[in-house]
Structure 1
Amino acid sequence: MDTKRKISALWKGVLLALLVSLCSAHLALADDWSLKDRNGAQYKLSEQKGKWVLVNFWAPWCPPCIAEMPGLDALQKQRKDLLVIGVAVMYGKTEEVTDVIRQHSISYPIVMGNEDIASDFGEMTGMPTSFLYSPAGKLVGHHYGPLTQNEVEQAIARKPAAAGLFTP
């Protein structure tokens, strides 16, 4: 095989591997997941049928993450059709996470996450990152950056103003 054909075959292999990797990352987002919060309670997507589910990845050193927490907590308290699950990532000690939860009186479940849990949901380019699931258990999309209570409510109500908020 000549050099041009070897390079062409190599690039085809690289592109195929990239495509497979992207597809498998997307499939991980669509799969049923199970998360255990810091108190030992288990949350499985398939068991949340009939509820909207917002999985919010955050870090204790991230000011925008902490700024959005009161709004997410208010949503959790006000809406019986919504479950907010916070997943703490990129922390050094558990106390960093519990201090933030205590300081801001967060009542929604918090998972002590890690890179494996984060990678199950897909690539995250920044913090916070949120994934919204419909009451049918289907991924509506993900959002990079902080969210307000109003933005999440608009996305759930499927208001046109929120159409681009969560991207597939």
Structure 2
Amino acid sequence: MKILISLLLLLSTSLVQAAPAFSIKDTAGKVHHLSDYKGKWVLVNYWATWCPPCLEEIPDFVSLYDHHKDKDLMVIGVAFEYKNAKEVTDFVDDMLMSYPIALGDEPAQKAELLKEVGSSEVLPTTYIYNPQGQLVKTKRGLITKAEVEKLLATKP
């Protein structure tokens, strides 16, 4: 019985430590790992330049990132369904997007993103991880600044 209890404790401890992980390379060449942001909320937003609700979210994500990046939030945008990298980087410059942006359609990255973070079938889609690195919300469609701020105010 002691052995069984010990095994169960060991198994439950290893499950808690096995938080979801991802590696996302942004357009500047920096690789972002979920573990890099332990202690912060992490918001990964899938978007496209042609997507009206995506365009509506971007100013809110810029505001959230600019106000929270040094405290409790990391925002990473992942662009999908674009013609080329220049289209995305020009768009990012025009929209004054201050948070890191990754190219989701890049063959070397796309399969890993979809496996590690989640599906890109609906744009926008936002994945939110708590400060412990656990996925706590997946929002398909528009997410508001108020919804994100409400989540940031909760104690995980």
Same fold (TM over 0.5): yes
- Kindly state the Cα deviation for residue 99 of structure 1 after the two structures are TM-superposed: 2.2
- Kindly state the Cα deviation for residue 117 of structure 1 after the two structures are TM-superposed: 4.2
For 1:53-75, what per-residue CA distance to the aligned partner results, in whole angstroms no more than 9, with x for missing partners? 00000011111111110100100
Secondary structure (helix, strand or coil) at the match of 1:141 reads strand
- Kindly state the Cα deviation for residue 148 of structure 1 after the two structures are TM-superposed: 1.7
The aligned amino acid for 2:59 is: P
Superposition RMSD in Å: 1.6
- Kindly state the Cα deviation for residue 103 of structure 1 after the two structures are TM-superposed: 1.3
Percent identical among aligned pairs is: 45
- Kindly state the Cα deviation for residue 112 of structure 1 after the two structures are TM-superposed: 1.0
Q: Is the 8 A contact 2:24 2:33 kept in 1?
A: yes
Q: Which runs of 5+ in 1 are unaligned?
A: 1-29, 160-168
Which is bigger in relative contact order (C-alpha 8 A, separation at least 6)? 2
The aligned amino acid for 1:55 is: V
The aligned amino acid for 2:153 is: A
Q: Is the 8 A contact 2:127 2:135 kept in 1?
A: yes
TM-score, normalising length: structure 2 = 0.77
Runs of 4+ in 1 over 6 A off after TM superposition: none
Q: Aligned partners of 2:52, 2:33: CA distance in 1, in Å?
A: 29
Q: Aligned partners of 1:48, 1:143: CA distance in 2, in Å?
A: 20
TM-score, normalising length: structure 1 = 0.72
* 1:14-29 correspondence runs (5 A): none
The aligned amino acid for 2:125 is: T
Q: Aligned partners of 2:81, 2:111: CA distance in 1, in Å?
A: 12
What's the counterpart of residue 146 of structure 1?
Answer: 142
Q: Which has the larger radius of gyration?
A: 1
Q: Is the 8 A contact 1:124 1:144 kept in 2?
A: no
For 1:97-149, what per-residue CA distance to the aligned partner results, in whole angstroms no more than 9, with x for missing partners? 11221111010000111242442222344110000000001110210011221
What's the counterpart of residue 83 of structure 1?
Answer: 74
State how many pairs are aligned: 130
User: Which one of 40, 50, 59 corresponds to residue 61 of structure 1?
Assistant: 50
What's the counterpart of residue 154 of structure 2?
Answer: 158
User: Which one of 110, 116, 123 corresponds to residue 127 of structure 1?
Assistant: 123
